[in-house]
């Protein structure tokens, strides 16, 4: 019988899943129900964290176990891994066992992880479910049933209730009330749908990567596993995913990176998870080769970074281990949501996803306008950018998550961003912030109303301020773009004397000496040792330049990419009269593109900018003031 050779693309993903499992299996105790990962606890409880450190790796194991292992791990090794997860599942669901996870209850994190586990039990049934004894299955079913009728947070979490009840019905453990619960939970989630394929994340009132790795991932998983129960609903969710991914494909840079934006970005490469599911469901808006390319580059980008902690497991962080990035609900097991990306292994080795030539990222200079979330996605020079005219996080979660994960004007691949510190220190990069000199509190953008979104421009209105001291600065921000440059014009109207700062893109490095800064009368810039620069060119209104920086260990780390950072700033102290601030903002590695602009024509409503590499840039808008020193910009 001739030997079978699997596509290298397939074996790469299969073997990468195994490489991620190996360090977990090395520390998994015999007879235990958890993997003792080192890391901070969540604000849930110990049982929830223990279950999370089992359930998320179990999903990774499930995708790997059900894969084709021709030329891969030996059957004995696969059996041993499957046996450990089965044994842990039996122990963790046994009320008499010391390692019992406890049942779910209203709004408990266990409900999330139980919903995840039923996906694993379903996709790897032959390894994780069928070998169990009837009594073992009955015990697990009893535990899963604790997710019946419980409260779930009003967002994508409702899917965990749906998936559990679908599983229980399938194994003849359903209740008459299950249909009504499933219908209600679906109705609530479908009420969160807006347009452009985007959902508002329920009570969080946010739009971010959760649309990809929560709403559309679970929607497509449900359609794949249980869609035959309600074909019209399955088709509806497939159509929404198709619309979403058509725009979302432009988020991924040529490097494979997607801009960090919103909460839970420690999940890293799970951002690509809905692409293979859409291919599997026959609703992909991109070719199999492009879908594979997006996923493989995204996976490879993060695994080329130092993303592992000292046990060899995935760490909390973005480019490396950075526990300060984690939300309060995160624990050591949380990063294994990244396992969702390995749903690609549900596609058989002979599928075009694996056999078609890998296609590059979506086209250069693409601009995707998303009215529902108030976002614009654009690509240029191999990089991508999310420009934010509207999305935010709800007020009750501002302290829990940090508004700066949604509040900046730009989130760009290749640079990341800095976190604020509590209390009252909003991070200054990629946007306008206001400091109240009476209190020292720094306010950043939060609640925002989009005013305009076109293929070359956006505008939005918001107030910088808060309850403390009743500080308030009304702002209208107008942005235009050309390659790596942003032209920012801000109309401001303060109700107190305030210090305003415009932050450029923040550059990070693993060595402080790799970051330098320079400023003169027209510009302030930061240079990194690899040639990447971040630059602000003052056009009008700003009085001085400065840097926000961390160049030693005397203050906590705040940059998501690396321990040290430096951010260029322009600043002005303003009174209570309306005015206009304007600057050009750039980051990149092309020395020619990084040259300053001249402004030979700056009439009210009409500016003409000139650049030796990028040519002429004409901007017409009523917000533009007439400038006196139009040829070379105003003094810093």
Q: What is the pLDDT of residues 365-404, one digit of tens each?
A: 889 999 999 999 999 999 999 999 998 888 877 777 888 9
Residue 326 tokens read as: 């984690």
Reference 390, options 207, 246, 240; nearest CA is: 207
Whether the bond into 423 is cis, omega within 30 of 0: yes
- For the segment 103-119, the average pLDDT, to the nearest whole number, is 94
Instruction: Give the per-residue pLDDT at 69.
Output: 95
CA 430 to centroid of chain Cα atoms: 17
Q: What angle do CA 517, 521, 525 make, to 5 degrees?
A: 25
Instruction: Report DSSP letters for 208-224, one per residue.
Output: STHIIIIIIHHHHHHHH
Q: What is the DSSP letter of 126?
A: H
| pLDDT category of residue 171 using cuts at 50, 70 and 90 | very high
Instruction: Give the per-residue pLDDT at 317.
Output: 97
Name the class of domain 367-592: mainly beta
What is the C-alpha to C-alpha distance for residues 58 and 65, in angstroms, rounded to an integer?
10
Residue 256 tokens read as: 């494979």
- For the segment 86-108, the average pLDDT, to the nearest whole number, is 95
Q: What is the pLDDT of residues 551-566, one digit of tens each?
A: 999 999 999 999 999 9
Q: What angle do CA 147, 148, 154 make, to 5 degrees?
A: 75
Same fold, 8-355 and 367-592: no
Q: What is the DSSP letter of 625?
A: P
Measured over the CA atoms of residue 307, residue 313, residue 316 and residue 322, the dihedral's sign is negative
Domain spans in the chain, listed from the N-terminal domain onward = 8-355, 367-592
For domain 8-355, the question of CATH label 1.50.10.10 is answered with: yes
User: Measured between alpha carbons, how far is residue 75 from residues 65, 71, 132, 350 in Å?
Assistant: 10, 11, 18, 22
Higher pLDDT, 151 or 270: 270
Backbone φ and ψ of 503, nearest 5°: -100, 140
| Cβ(30)–Cβ(90) below 8 Å | no
Q: What is the pLDDT of residues 208-257, one digit of tens each?
A: 999 999 999 999 999 999 999 999 999 999 999 999 999 999 999 999 99
Residue 496 has pLDDT above 70, yes or no: yes
Instruction: Give the per-residue pLDDT at 117.
Output: 96
Instruction: Give the per-residue pLDDT at 633.
Output: 46
Backbone φ and ψ of 529, nearest 5°: -60, -25
Task: State the CB neighbour count (10 A cutoff) for residue 584.
Answer: 24
Count each helix (H run) and each strand (E run) in the chain, helices first: 16, 21
User: CB-side exposure of 501: number of CA atoms within 13 Å?
Assistant: 26
Q: What is the pLDDT of residues 154-167, one digit of tens each?
A: 999 999 999 999 99
Q: Is the whole-model pTM more than 0.75?
A: yes
Residue 306 has pLDDT above 90, yes or no: yes
Reference 443, options 473, 481, 415; nearest CA is: 473
| Cβ partners under 8 Å of residue 312, min gap 6 | 22, 23, 26
């Amino acid at each position: 019988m001739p030997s079978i050779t699997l596509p290298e693309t397939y074996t790469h993903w299969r073997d990468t899943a195994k490489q991620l499992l190996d360090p977990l299996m090395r520390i998994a105790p015999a007879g235990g129900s958890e993997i003792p990962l080192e890391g901070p606890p969540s604000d849930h409880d110990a049982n929830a964290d223990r279950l999370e450190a089992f359930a998320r790796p179990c999903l990774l194991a499930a995708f790997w176990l059900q894969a084709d292992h021709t030329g891969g791990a030996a059957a004995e090794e696969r059996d041993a891994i499957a046996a450990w997860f089965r044994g842990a599942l039996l122990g963790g669901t046994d009320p008499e066992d010391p390692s019992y996870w406890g049942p779910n209850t209203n709004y408990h994190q266990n409900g999330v992880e139980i919903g995840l586990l039923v996906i694993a039990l379903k996709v790897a049934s032959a390894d994780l479910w069928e070998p169990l004894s009837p009594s073992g299955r009955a015990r697990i079913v009893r535990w899963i049933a604790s997710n019946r009728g419980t409260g779930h947070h009003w967002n994508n979490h409702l899917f965990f209730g749906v998936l559990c009840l679908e599983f229980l019905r399938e194994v003849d453990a359903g209740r008459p009330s299950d249909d009504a619960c499933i219908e209600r939970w679906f109705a609530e989630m479908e009420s969160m749908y807006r347009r452009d394929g985007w959902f508002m994340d329920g009570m969080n009132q946010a739009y971010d990567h959760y649309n990809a790795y929560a709403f559309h991932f679970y929607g497509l998983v449900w359609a794949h596993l249980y869609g035959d129960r309600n074909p019209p609903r399955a088709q509806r969710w497939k159509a929404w995913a198709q619309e979403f991914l058509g725009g979302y494909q432009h988020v991924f840079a040529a490097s494979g990176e997607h801009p960090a934006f919103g909460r839970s970005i420690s999940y890293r490469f799970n951002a690509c998870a809905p692409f293979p599911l859409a291919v599997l469901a026959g609703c992909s808006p991109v070719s199999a080769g492009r879908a594979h390319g997006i996923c493989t580059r995204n996976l490879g980008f993060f695994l080329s970074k130092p993303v592992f902690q000292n046990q060899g497991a995935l760490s909390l962080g973005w480019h490396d281990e950075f526990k300060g990035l984690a939300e309060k609900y995160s624990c050591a097991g949380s990063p294994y949501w990244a396992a969702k990306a390995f749903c690609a292994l549900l596609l058989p080795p002979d599928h075009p996803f694996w056999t078609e030539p890998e296609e590059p990222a979506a086209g250069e200079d693409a601009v995707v306008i998303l009215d529902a979330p108030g976002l614009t996605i654009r690509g240029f020079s191999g990089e991508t950018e999310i420009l934010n005219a509207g999305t935010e996080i709800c007020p009750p979660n501002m302290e829990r998550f940090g508004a700066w994960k949604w509040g900046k004007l730009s989130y760009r691949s290749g640079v990341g961003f800095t976190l604020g510190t509590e209390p009252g220190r909003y991070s200054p990069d990629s946007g306008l912030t206001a400091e109240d000199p009476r209190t020292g509190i720094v306010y950043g953008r939060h609640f925002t109303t989009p005013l305009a979104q076109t293929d070359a421009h956006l505008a939005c209105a918001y107030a910088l301020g808060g309850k403390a001291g009743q500080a308030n600065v009304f702002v209208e921000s107008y942005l235009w773009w050309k390659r790596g440059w942003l032209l920012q014009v801000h109309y401001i109207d303060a109700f107190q004397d305030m210090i305003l700062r415009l932050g450029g893109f923040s550059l990070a490095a693993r060595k402080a000496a790799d970051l330098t800064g320079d400023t003169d009368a027209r510009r302030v810039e930061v240079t990194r040792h690899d040639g990447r620069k971040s630059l602000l060119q003052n056009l009008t209104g700003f009085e001085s330049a400065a840097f926000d920086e961390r160049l030693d260990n005397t203050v906590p780390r705040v940059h998501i990419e690396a321990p040290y950072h430096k951010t260029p700033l322009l600043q002005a102290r303003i009174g209570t009269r309306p005015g206009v601030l304007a600057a050009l903002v750039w980051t990149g590695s092309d020395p020619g593109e990084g040259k300053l602009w001249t402004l030979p024509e700056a009439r009210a409503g009409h500016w003409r900018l000139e650049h030796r590499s990028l040519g002429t840039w004409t901007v017409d808008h009523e917000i533009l003031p007439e400038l006196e020193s139009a040829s070379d910009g105003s003094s810093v």
